[in-house]
Structure 1
Amino acid sequence: MPPPLILAALYATLISLGALALKLPISHHVPISWSDAIFTATSAVTVTGLVVFDIGTTLTWFGEFVVAFLIQLGGLGLMTFAVLVLAALGMPMGLTGQVYLREDLNHNSMDQLMKLVTTILKAVLICEVAGALLLSLTFVPRLGLLDGLWTAAFHSVSAFNNAGFSTFPDGLIGYAIDPLVNTVIPALFIIGGIGYVVLHDVLSGKSPRAWSLHTKIMLLGTAILIPWSMGAFAALEWNNPGTLGQYDSIPARLVVSWFQGVTTRTAGFNTTDIAAIHDSTTLLFISLMLIGGGPASTAGGIKVTTFVVMILATVAFFRRQTQLHAFGRSIGLDQVLKVMALTAISVIVVFCGVFLMTVSHDGHFVDIAFEVASAFGTVGLSRGFTGELNEFGRAVIVVIMFLGRVGPLTLGFFLATRTLPRVRYPESQVHLG
C-alpha cells in the first residue's frame, strides 16, 4: 500500500472508532446522532475544533475524555507514527517529513528519526502538564477541584494540539481578560504550532546562525504575522460594540486583540464573539486561517514557510532574479514548484468546498467561506454557522477537514516522488498574464 493510502486509512479508522465511542451511552447525557458523532470525531482527529453541539453539556466526562484522546492522537500520535511507518517502509515522507526532517536536519537514518520522535514526546509531556497545572490556578477556584483540574487538562491538550475544543458553551469569552488564560493557552498553541523542527533547532543550544533555513524562515514569518494580525484586528474592531468596543480600557482591548491575533491561524479558541466581527475582519481571518502554522506541527493551513517562499518567489520574479535565496542560502526550483502545487490545490479545494456549500446553503456566502476556510485550515473558528449545517453541508465540511489534515502529507508524497524523463522536448513560449 502506498504511504498516502496508509495515512488516510489510519485517520479514517481512528475517526470511525472515535465516532463509535462517542455513540456509547456512557459518553453523553443526551442522545446524539451518528452524524453528530462522526462530525465531532472527525473534528477531533483532524484537530479542527468545529462542533455541532455543546461539548460541556452534551458529553459526560468519559465523552470529553474520548474527544481529548482523539485530539492527542490526531495531533501528535498519528503524525509521529506516520514518520516511523514511512521511514520503515523506505518511502518518501512527503512535504513536511521529506523536506524538513531529512534535508534540513539531515535525519536520514531511522535512529535520527527515533531521536526526533523522543524529543516530540518529551515536549508534549512537559508542555501539556505545565499548561494544565497553570490553568488549574484559574479554573479550580471557579469550578471546584475535580471539575477545575479536568477542565485545565482538557484545555491544555486542546491548546497544545491546536484543536480549539472547549468545554465552555461560549468558548473562552468568560476569560477574555484573564491574565493566565491569555498567557498559557497562546503559549501552548504557539509552541505546538511552530513545528518540532524549529523547537529542535532552538533548544539544541546552537547559535542562531547555525539554525536551519527552515527555522529562520518560520521564525521570521511568525514574527511578522503575529503583530500584523493583532494590529489589524485591533484597528478593524476597535469601536465594534460586539467585540472590542464593549471594553472601556485600552489594555483590555489590546489583550483581546492579542489573543485573536495569535489564535486565528490555527488554534481556534476565541475570547470574543466571532459572529459579531465585521466582514473586513472576516476576510482577514480567512486569509490567516489559510496560511496556518508550521510544517511538522499540530497546525494546519498551507503553512507559514509555504507562504513566505511564495512571497520570495514573487519578489524574485519582479526583480528578474534567476535564483531564489534567503539568509545566505538558495531555495531550489523544485521547492518553488512544490509551493505552487500546494497553494494551487489548496485554493481549488477551498473553492470547491465553498461552491458545494452555497448550493445547499444559499444566502450565507460570508459564513460559508469562513466555515470552509476554518475547516481546511483545521482552525475551528466559526461565525455560528456550524450548527445550521444540513447533512450534506456536514459531509462537505467533514471531507474538507479530512483533506486539510491528511492532504499535505499525501500531496508531499507525490511531490517527493521524482521521475526522470526519457525524452526531452524543445522549449517553446507560452504567453502568460
Structure 2
Amino acid sequence: MNISFFSLLKWSPPRILVVGFAIIIMLGALMLSLPFASADGSGLRFLDALFTATSATSVTGLVVVDSGTYFSVAGQVIIMLLIQIGGLGFMTMGTLFALVLKKRISLRERLILQEAMNQGSMEGIIRLIRKVIVYSLSFELVGTLLFTLRFAYDMPFGKALYFGVFHAVSLFNNAGFDIFGDYRSLTLYVDDPIVNLTAMLLIISGGLGFIVISDLLEFRRRKGLSLHSKVVLVMTGSLIAVGAIVIFLFEFSNALTLGSLDWGGKILSSFFQSVSPRTAGANTLNIADLRQATLFFTIILMFIGASPGSTGGGIKTTTFMTLIGAVVAMFRGKEDIVLFRFRLGKERVLKALTITMLSLALVVVVTMLLSATEDQQFIKILFEATSAFGTVGLSMGITPELSDFGKIIISITMFAGRLGPLTLAYALNPKASKELYRYPEGKITIG
C-alpha cells in the first residue's frame, strides 16, 4: 500500500484507516474468490470470500469454509498475507516499503501512523514502527522454528515448515486461522507442551502491544517500566491467572473437556483456554463442549480483549483497568483515579467509558439482529457476536451455518472490532470544533 496516496486526500487519520482497511479487504476478497485460491478450482462465492478476507484482515479467525481443506496453497498464502497486513496495520507495511525505498515519511503520514498505533504523540513514531517490524518478524521466526521442529514428527519436513510459518503468523497476530482441516484448530495437541507453550508465547507477545515489548527489552537501559506497561502487564497476568483458575474449576469434571486429561493436560488446557479468548481464536478444547458457565466467562474475556497497540481487539486491558480504578476510587470516596502512584486525567476515564459503552452497544445490537435471523441458541449467538467484536475467532460452530445476512452482520462487526468503535465514530463524524461557551453545571441523582 503506497501511503503517499492517502496524503493526497484531505481526510482525517481515522477516516484514512477505515478506507485503507476496507480497500485491503476488498482486494483480498477478490483474490480469494478466484478459482486458483480454492483447492478444487471452483472459486469461492464472493460473499464468503468477503467474509474470509474480513476475518483475516481483522485478525479474527471466524471462517465459513474450512481453511485447511477448501483453499489451495495459494489461497492459504493470501490469507496469511492478509493476517500479517491486518495484524501490523497497512500503514506499518506501507512505512516498511517507504523505508526500504528510502522515501521520506511526511508529517501527514506520521499523523496517520500515530492514529494507527494508538499513540499520544508523533515523537519517535518511525522508530517505533521499525521496532514493530523487527519484533514481529523475530517472534514469528522463533514460533516458526519451534512449530516446525514439533510438526516434523507428524508430517514431512516441507509440510511441517509450511505449517510452522502459517501458524506462527496466525497466532502472533492473534488471528486464530489454522490449516489442520476439519475446523480442528490445535485440538490434536491438547496436552502437547511444546505446541501449547509456543502458541501461548506467540499469543501473549502479540497481545501485549509493541510498546510494552519495547519497554521490556529496554528495561535495563530505562531502569523501569512506563505506567502503560505496568498496567498492561498486571492486568494481562491477572486475567490469565484468574481465567485459568475459573476454567479449571468449571471444567474439571467435564468428561468432554478437561475430565479425560491427566493433571498436566488439565493445567495446560486451562491456561491455553484462558489465553486464547484474549483475541487469539485458537483452541485445544472443543468450544461447543464447554459448560455454559465457562462459555459466559469466555465471553467476558473476549470482550476485554488484548492491549492497545497490539494485534488484538476488545475494549483493551487498559480500558478495563481504568474502569476498575474508577470503581475503586468511588468506593473509597476519592476524586482521583490512581494507578501505581499516578493520577489519571478525567479525559482518560471518559474515553474508557465511551469505548466500553460503544462496544457493549455494538455487541447488543449484533446479538439482537442475529437472534432475529438465525435459528440458533442465544448463548451461541452471543458468543459469536462477542468473538467477532473482539476479533477473537472462537466459535461454537455456527459460523458456516450463518445466513447471508448473518455473514454480512458478522463481517461488519469484525471490521468495527479491528478498527475500534471510537475510531469508526471519529471517521464518520466531522472535525470537532472547540466550544466557545459552557453550560451551567446541573445535578441529577445517580444510582
> TM-score of the superposition, structure 1-length normalised?
0.93
Does the Cα contact within 8 Å between 1:174 and 1:271 map onto a contact in 2?
A: yes
* 1:268 corresponds to which of 273, 277, 281: 281
Secondary structure of the residue aligned to 1:57 is: coil
Report the Cα offset of residue 141 of structure 1.
2.2
- Match of 1:245, SS state, is coil
Q: Secondary structure at the match of 1:142?
A: coil
The question of whether the paired residues in 2 share the 8 Å contact of 1:4 and 1:409 is answered with no
Asked if 1:98 is matched to 2:119, the reply is yes
Question: Offset of 1:34 from its aligned partner?
Answer: 1.1
The amino acid of 2:131's aligned partner reads T
Contact 2:114–2:125 (CA under 8 A) maintained in structure 1: no
Indicate which of 313, 321, 327 corresponds to 1:314.
Answer: 327
- The number of residues matched between the two structures is 423
Match of 2:215 in 1: 201
User: Residue 215 in 1 paired to residue 236 in 2?
Assistant: no
Partner SS, residue 98 of structure 1: coil
Cα deviation code 1:176-222 (max 9, x no counterpart): 11121011111011101100111111111347863111111001101
CA deviation after TM superposition for structure 1 residue 418, in Å:
6.6
Instruction: Pick closer, same or farther for the CA change 1:91–1:178 going to 2, 3 Å.
Output: closer
Unaligned runs of 5+ in 2: 1-10, 96-104
Please list, as runs of the form range in 1=range in 2, the aligned pairs for 1:35-184 lying within 5 A after superposition: 35-78=47-90, 80=92, 88=109, 90=111, 93-94=114-115, 97-99=118-120, 102=121, 108-109=122-123, 112-168=124-180, 169=182, 170-184=184-198
After superposing the two structures, state which structure 1 stretch, 190-199 or 76-85, moved more: 76-85
Does the 8 A contact of 1:92 with 1:413 survive in 2?
no
- Write the distance in 2 (CA, Å) between the matches of 1:411 and 1:214: 24
- 2 CA distance for matches of 1:224 and 1:15? 35
1:117-139 Cα deviation digits (max 9, x unpaired): 11111111111111101101111
- 1:343-362 to structure 2, matched below 5 A, reads 343-362=356-375
Question: Residue 86 and residue 135 in structure 1: after superposition, are their counterparts in 2 closer, same or farther (change >3 A)?
Answer: farther
Contact 1:68 1:157 survives alignment (8 Å)? yes
1:129-180 deviation line (CA, Å, top 9, x unaligned): 1110110111122121221110111000001100000001211100111121
Distance 1:82 1:302 in 2: 26
Q: Quote the residue 2:31 is aligned against.
A: 21
Considering fraction of residues, name the structure with more helix.
Answer: 1
Q: Is the 8 A contact 1:68 1:158 kept in 2?
A: yes
**Is the 1:72–1:157 Cα contact (8 Å) retained in structure 2?**
yes
Counterpart contact for 2:355–2:422, Cα < 8 Å: no
Cα gap change, 1:326/1:412 in structure 2, threshold over 3 Å: closer, same or farther? Answer: farther
User: CA separation in 2, counterparts of 1:375 and 1:367?
Assistant: 12
| Larger RCO: 1 or 2 (CA < 8 Å, sep 6+) | 1
Q: Identity of counterpart residues, as a percentage?
A: 40
**Is contact 1:162-1:299 (8 Å) kept?**
yes
1:187 is aligned, of 198, 201, 207, to 201
1:420 corresponds in structure 2 to 434
Q: CA offset at residue 82 of structure 1?
A: 8.5
Whole-angstrom CA distance in 1 between matches of 2:300 and 2:176: 18
Q: 2:6 is matched with which residue?
A: none
Please give the alpha-carbon distance, in whole angstroms, between the structure 2 residues aligned to 1:85 and 1:134.
Answer: 40
Does the Cα contact within 8 Å between 1:163 and 1:267 map onto a contact in 2?
yes
TM-score of the aligned structures, taking structure 2 as reference length: 0.90
Contact 1:94 1:409 in 2 (8 A): no
- Alignment-derived partner of residue 355 in structure 2: 342
**In 2: Cα distance, 1:401 partner to 1:71 partner:** 13
Deviations 1:381-409 (A, max 9, x none): 00011111010100100000000011256
Counterpart secondary structure, 1:242:
coil
Partner SS for 1:325: strand
2:420 to 407, 416, 421: 407
Contact 2:91–2:113 (CA under 8 A) maintained in structure 1: no
2:247 aligned residue:
233
User: Are 1:257 and 2:267 matched, yes or no?
Assistant: no
SS of residue paired to 2:299: helix
Which amino acid letter does the alignment assign opposite residue 183 of structure 1?
L
Indicate the larger mover: 232-241 or 201-210. 201-210
- Poorly superposed stretches of 4+, deviation over 6 Å: 82-86
Paired with 1:412 and 1:296, the residues of 2 have a C-alpha distance of: 19
Residues 76, 342 of structure 1: alpha-carbon distance in 2 compared, 3 angstrom cutoff: same
CA–CA separation in structure 1 for the residues paired with 2:316 and 2:106: 23
User: Separation in 2 of the partners of 1:282 and 1:45?
Assistant: 26
Contact 1:354 1:368 in 2 (8 A): yes
What is the aligned partner in structure 2 of residue 432 from structure 1?
Answer: 446
Give 1:303's aligned amino acid. K
**Rounded Cα–Cα distance in structure 2 between residues aligned with 1:82 and 1:283:** 39
Q: Give the stretch that moved more between structures: 112-121 or 31-40.
A: 31-40
Query: Deviation at 1:351?
Result: 0.4
Alpha carbons of 1:201 and 1:327: their partners in 2 closer, same or farther (altered >3 Å)? same
1:361, CA displacement in angstroms?
A: 1.3
Could you tell me which runs of 5 or more consecutive residues in structure 1 were left unpaired when the two chains were aligned: 103-107
